[in-house]
Amino acid sequence: MDDLLDALRVKDEFDRKFMRYAIWIGFPLAMVGVAGCQAVFESAFELSMWLVLLNVTVVWLLWTFWHSVIFEWHRKRFLSHGDGYRRAFIVDIFPGVTIGFSQMLRPSFNGINMSCNETFPKLPRSVLDIAEDALGILVAIGAFALFVSAWRTLGTARVGFVCEFCNPVSFVPIQRGPYARVRHPLFWSGIGLSWACAILSGPTMTAAAIAMLNAGYGIVYNELEDRRLKRVFGDRYAGYAREVPHISPWGFTSRPLQDEQAVGKRSRRLLVARLRAS
């Protein structure tokens, strides 16, 4: 946290303490607030499940445009200022992270759940309810454990994009903990939270559909974030991406493994062709 506060140019000790609490409390409150406002809007206009899904989709599309275009454009512009990171934190990082991760709460906070009073978990009334709640709690614990592990591995400064604004030439990818096994585990912990919310709130068809939509976007996000980080850090991140797998619809894949499999298939075909020729 100290490195992030230094990047924000917060010097006074009282101000630093205040900012610590403001960041730790402000982010989750803002996320709940964004998701709650969307749910109130959907409930007030009695939107159907499909319109709720459309609402989530539109948010992800707008967020993608910010992530892949506006954030990068602002970064190049802010780097010319001495307080570039502070500007980026206020203009892009705080609102961008808040809006993105707020969508992970949408399986619980949506208009249909709010209208049916299914936003928050209820006391179980049957064995099936107990099993569903137990599963949801287990998924939530797993997502939280992944989140904590990923955060502790990266550190608050890297989570807050400090290295992209403050001396990016010294960037060295971290390849330990969850970051040695899969790319972007913080985002996937959010997907896990999304599924936990879907299971614990009802579950309803709308909640499950939003969780599926979020999981699908997670696969898209993998590619978008990889491209963005390669543009920022060049070969240093590209080398890391070649070594560490990402989640795809077919499991965990990495380019070295894919290349090795392709070479193996070509070698086997050549061997078969030579045997037939002989």
pLDDT of residue 204: 87
- Report the distance separating Cα 171 and Cα 55, nearest Å: 37
What pTM did the predictor assign?
A: 0.85
Q: In DSSP terms, which residues pair with 248 in a beta bridge?
A: 251
Q: Are 213 and 53 in contact (CB under 8 A)?
A: yes
CA distances from residue 96 to 27, 42, 262 in whole angstroms, order as listed: 11, 22, 39
Residue 102: closest CA among 52, 37, 41, 35: 35
pLDDT of residue 168: 86
Total structural domains within the chain: 2
106, 157: one domain: yes
**249 in a structural domain:** no
Least reliable range by pLDDT among 48-62, 110-124, 199-213, 248-262: 248-262
Q: Are 184 and 31 in contact (CB under 8 A)?
A: no
Mean pLDDT along residues 208-232: 95
Binned at pLDDT 50, 70 and 90, residue 258 comes out as: very low
276, 214: one domain: no
Mean pLDDT along residues 146-168: 93
pLDDT reading at 262 higher than 50: no
pLDDT of residue 231: 93
30, 163: one domain: yes
Binned at pLDDT 50, 70 and 90, residue 122 comes out as: confident
- Report the distance separating Cα 141 and Cα 144, nearest Å: 5
Query: The dihedral of CA 143, 145, 140, 138: what is its sign?
Result: positive
